[in-house]
A and B are shown apart, each in its own frame.
Chain A
């Protein structure tokens, strides 16, 4: 009895473990080498100065405790800049929303079969997206002067990049039997886009527009640091005077506004879905 079961068991051995360790060791050592290279100040890496934390943590603690004592008397002065920030965020998102519709339809394959115009739009959008938001703002401030206009333009450029990329990729990866049906029925590309692609993808657009609005509130709060209007300028100014009580009020205000916008857009998103 026992002999009959032992025999087949001897034949079916557990397969040998795949040898993954050389590969794993290679990956880990590559990551370690990259990390070490990022810590070498001689070639531009970051000098990790834990000693500075040990020496100066009292500074930070003092500042943090100062930040935890908001000077509420300052609140009335923050209302106007905060409103400007929200206006910039909202108007910027709206302009970007309007611009993003044709650009997205140009950048997606099912809505624009022409490879030349499609790649051109994609390339431009990708380049624009690679420039960080505040870098745009810095350059635009130098070009059109200090104020809300460069901030607004930076937000629009930034939003268009995000919305066009995310929505056009979503359109690309979805199946589109209805578009093919319309094409088989002899519709022109413009008719297809207008009557089918746009209504079908409107929820995607709405979702990303809301996301852009959320991002804008966060970004426009700091645009003022480079002179592009909004509450960031006040924040920078108060910080320069070491008026941490005032800074605290501004940060708390930004925090509340961002959380409210995020909650509101979550509710909206659930209703849209």
Chain B
């Protein structure tokens, strides 16, 4: 102990001229920051926004806030709850459809499960679906199934496949190889590996992601309602168009309360699933 201290003092004492290493160059970082800053300034300056309108915003928020929340119109609450359940149904069925389709596809897209060509094709498909906004999928679908909640559920189901499939193969790929190797060593084929090694290990995570998809869909179903798929979103869009602010306020309260309640329940379930109780 003391000898190391001595050695250390000796080296500093005998070599007083040891220079500090040069500071790492931050030129690249500075340049990147500058580029981002310039692009931001140009984008802000050329954006077609009347920034002066922002001055009226606080007053507008106060006025509309009073209109919406000072005396919300609770007489339409039953109707709102009916529509909210429709949105929840859309979200739930969409999540089920999405999970049922994306788990097998996502498994096949994982390394070491499906062949390489299939893996690449599926990953490409997931990337493309991820890039298309849900609303656009709904707009295409409604030419087949019309302006119905069913369209909304289908759109949510299809739109979610991109992300859900990605999560599935990422989950499978982060599993440890031990169980899969053991099944293979015992003579199991691809199906046996999936059934006895990958499936049981990945199930809690996949279930948790399924519930998370439901949470996301709750928000998205309100958005799809805005383009006419029915549910609370359609009701909200209608009453916003009528400028019936007291009803809009009530609807917003219903949306926020339901979303937070679903998040809380689903979050608690997810935690229990992941802790394995």
The interface residues of chain B, by DSSP majority, are classed as helix
Residues of A within 8 A of B127 (CB): 259, 262
Contact of A52 among B57, B85, B145 (CB under 8 A): B145
Interface flag for A174 (CB, 8 Å): no
Interface flag for A222 (CB, 8 Å): yes
Contact A90 to B39, CB < 8 A, known contacts A49-B145, A60-B143 = yes
Query: Shortest CB–CB separation between residue A145 and chain B, in angstroms?
Result: 8
Interface flag for A72 (CB, 8 Å): no
Contact of A63 among B86, B140, B236 (CB under 8 A): B140
Query: Shortest CB–CB separation between residue A135 and chain B, in angstroms?
Result: 6
Interface flag for B48 (CB, 8 Å): yes
Contact of B236 among A38, A46, A135 (CB under 8 A): A135
Interface flag for A56 (CB, 8 Å): yes
Query: Whose C-beta in chain B lies nearest to the C-beta of A135?
Result: B222
Interface contact B144-A44, CB-CB below 8 Å: no
- The CA of A88 and the CA of B47, in the complex, are separated in Å by 7
Query: Whose C-beta in chain B lies nearest to the C-beta of A61?
Result: B144
Contact of A143 among B61, B136, B143, B146 (CB under 8 A): B61
Interface contact B85-A57, CB-CB below 8 Å: no
Interface flag for A225 (CB, 8 Å): yes
Interface contact B133-A222, CB-CB below 8 Å: yes
Contact A130 to B260, CB < 8 A, known contacts A90-B43, A147-B49, A218-B133 = yes
- The CA of A149 and the CA of B56, in the complex, are separated in Å by 12
Interface positions of A from 63 to 98, Cβ below 8 Å from B:
63-64, 67, 84, 86-88, 90-91, 94
- The CA of A153 and the CA of B132, in the complex, are separated in Å by 23
Contact of B47 among A45, A87, A145 (CB under 8 A): A87
Interface contact B240-A90, CB-CB below 8 Å: no
Interface contact A46-B132, CB-CB below 8 Å: no
Residues of B within 8 A of A25 (CB): none
Interface contact A144-B53, CB-CB below 8 Å: yes
Interface flag for B183 (CB, 8 Å): no
The contact size tier of chain B is 35 or more
- The CA of A53 and the CA of B154, in the complex, are separated in Å by 11
Query: Shortest CB–CB separation between residue B119 and chain A, in angstroms?
Result: 18
Contact of B227 among A38, A133, A153, A225 (CB under 8 A): A225
Contact of A134 among B57, B92, B223 (CB under 8 A): B223
Interface contact A138-B43, CB-CB below 8 Å: no
Residues of B within 8 A of A255 (CB): 128, 131-132
Residues of A within 8 A of B149 (CB): 46-47
Q: Which of B57, B130, B145, B240: most chain A Cβ within 10 A?
A: B145
Contact A254 to B222, CB < 8 A, known contacts A44-B83, A57-B144 = no
Interface contact A127-B143, CB-CB below 8 Å: no
Binds A, one of B9-17, B106-114, B194-202, B248-256: B248-256
For B164-202 the 0/1 string (1 means CB < 8 A from A) is: 000000000000000000000000000000000000000
Interface contact A130-B233, CB-CB below 8 Å: no
- The CA of A139 and the CA of B259, in the complex, are separated in Å by 18
Interface contact A132-B223, CB-CB below 8 Å: yes
Interface flag for A198 (CB, 8 Å): no
Residues of B within 8 A of A254 (CB): 131-133, 136
For B133-168 the 0/1 string (1 means CB < 8 A from A) is: 101100111011110111011000000000000000
Interface flag for B247 (CB, 8 Å): no
Interface contact B89-A135, CB-CB below 8 Å: no
Interface flag for A99 (CB, 8 Å): no
- The CA of A243 and the CA of B44, in the complex, are separated in Å by 32
Query: Whose C-beta in chain B lies nearest to the C-beta of A49?
Result: B150
- The CA of A87 and the CA of B256, in the complex, are separated in Å by 29
Interface flag for A12 (CB, 8 Å): no
Residues of B within 8 A of A84 (CB): 47-48
Interface flag for A131 (CB, 8 Å): yes
Query: Whose C-beta in chain A lies nearest to the C-beta of B67?
Result: A143
Interface flag for B30 (CB, 8 Å): no
Query: Shortest CB–CB separation between residue A58 and chain B, in angstroms?
Result: 9
Interface contact A149-B50, CB-CB below 8 Å: yes
Contact A251 to B132, CB < 8 A, known contacts A47-B148, A91-B47 = yes
Interface set of A (CB-CB < 8 Å, partner B): 34-35, 37-39, 43-49, 52-53, 56-57, 59-60, 63-64, 67, 84, 86-88, 90-91, 94, 126-127, 130-135, 138-139, 142-145, 147-149, 152-153, 218-219, 221-222, 225-226, 229, 235, 239, 251, 254-255, 258-259, 262
Given contacts A88-B47, A148-B47, 19 further A-B contacts (CB under 8 A): A43-B82, A43-B85, A46-B89, A46-B149, A46-B153, A47-B150, A48-B93, A49-B148, A52-B148, A53-B144, A60-B141, A90-B39, A130-B259, A133-B219, A138-B237, A222-B133, A254-B132, A262-B130, A262-B131
